[in-house]
Amino acid sequence: MANETLSANIAGLVDDIQAESLMKLQDTAGILDIVRWIDSSGEKGKTVDFPIYGTVTSGDVSEVAEGTDHSTNKQVTNAATSATVAEHVVMANISDLSVMSSTNDLVDEISTLFSSAMRAKLEDDIVGLFGSFTQTVAGAGTTMSADHWYDAIRQIKANSGDLSNLAAVISPKQYYGAKGLRPLISGTTHTGELSESFKNKGFVDMAFGMPVLVSNEINEDVGGFGDAAGAIFLKGAVGLHTKGLMNIEIERNASARAFELVAVGRWKEVELVDDWAVYFLSDVS
């Protein structure tokens, strides 16, 4: 009878934990704001195509005399990039004694644990793409400077990138360290509605006209030489396909006198436009 009561209690908590976990994940996963995100929940299939259109430049626009038939055709191409979701799983055993404790604490603690783990894995997968970016600034053994930031911006602008959608993702040492960004922008912290909104989602500042996200998932010892592997890119450079982002299920483990809570995140990250991204490797040793 006691187990039946516990089962009813924990089953009733699953919806609360699911809702709380998703809310915390979406509110704190700032990296979702700087990628091209498609969620296919409720749709058939596990693959989506991100359409990528070829550029149309000033050279494609012709001055034509009045009454003259313009017969030159500019072919607009669509080179789609596919993203097939994969499953990412984390499990927690919730003992019967834990269920007997405060319900509110259980909901808050488990949802925080699950959302934090999923957020970290989501960041880890996205920053794992940085090393594949063709364009680079700084480099191994090179200390970050303002010139590197402007050079990254220049490269993206030269490829017709919309600089209003720029963002940077760097490591803690690349931001807070003696060789990092913070010493470069000391005394220039931005304020305002946009800056405060980004900070609430994990962005620490606006620098060089872009929000800066500090990620613990970035390798700070690339090749064993004390270099950190950040990046500057446009929102359209990286795509993220999710299918519900995260789902939570429960199952009773009687012999362990506990419940298994399993959280499953379904997503796939892909590089979309290499010309709109710059790999920022710099010395943080």
In the chain, where are the structural domains located?
Answer: 1-54+75-285
Q: For residue 215, is pLDDT > 50?
A: yes
* Nearest in space to 76 (alpha carbons), one of 99, 96, 51: 51
Instruction: Give Cα separations from 84 to 72, 121, 240, 248, 263 (angstroms).
Output: 38, 17, 10, 21, 19
Token pair 């313009």 is at which residue? 70
- Strand (E) or helix (H) holding 277: strand 277-283
Average pLDDT over residues 184-209: 69
Strand partners for 34: none
The total of other beta-carbon atoms located within 10 Å of residue 248's CB is: 22
Instruction: Give Cα separations from 184 to 48, 151, 177 (angstroms).
Output: 41, 15, 11
- Higher confidence at residue 247 or residue 156? 156
Contact 18/248 with Cβ under 8 angstroms?
A: yes
Least confident of 35-44, 100-109, 176-185: 100-109
Domain 1-54+75-285 class in CATH: alpha beta
Output the pLDDT for position 27. 67
Q: For residue 197, is pLDDT > 90?
A: no
Output the pLDDT for position 95. 78
Q: For residue 108, is pLDDT > 90?
A: no
Rounded (10°) CA dihedral 110, 116, 119, 121? -90
Confidence of residue 103 (pLDDT cuts 50, 70, 90): low
Least confident of 7-11, 98-102, 137-141: 7-11
Token pair 């319900």 is at which residue? 103
Per-residue pLDDT of 25-57, as tens digits, reads 776 667 888 999 999 998 999 999 998 877 777
- Higher confidence at residue 231 or residue 41? 231
Q: Quote the Cα angle for 205-174-137, to 5°.
A: 100
Chain centroid offset of residue 92 CA: 24
Average pLDDT over residues 207-211: 91
Mean per-residue pLDDT over the chain, rounded: 85
For the chain, give the percent of residues with pLDDT over 70. 85
Give the span between the Cα atoms of 119 and 22, in whole angstroms: 10
Strand partners for 211: 206
Strand partners for 240: 37, 269
Confidence of residue 4 (pLDDT cuts 50, 70, 90): very low
Max mean pLDDT among 5-9, 95-99, 196-200 falls in 95-99
What does R_g of the chain's alpha carbons equal in angstroms? 23
What is the pTM for the complete model shown?
0.81
Confidence of residue 3 (pLDDT cuts 50, 70, 90): very low
Output the pLDDT for position 2. 43
Contact 205/183 with Cβ under 8 angstroms?
A: no
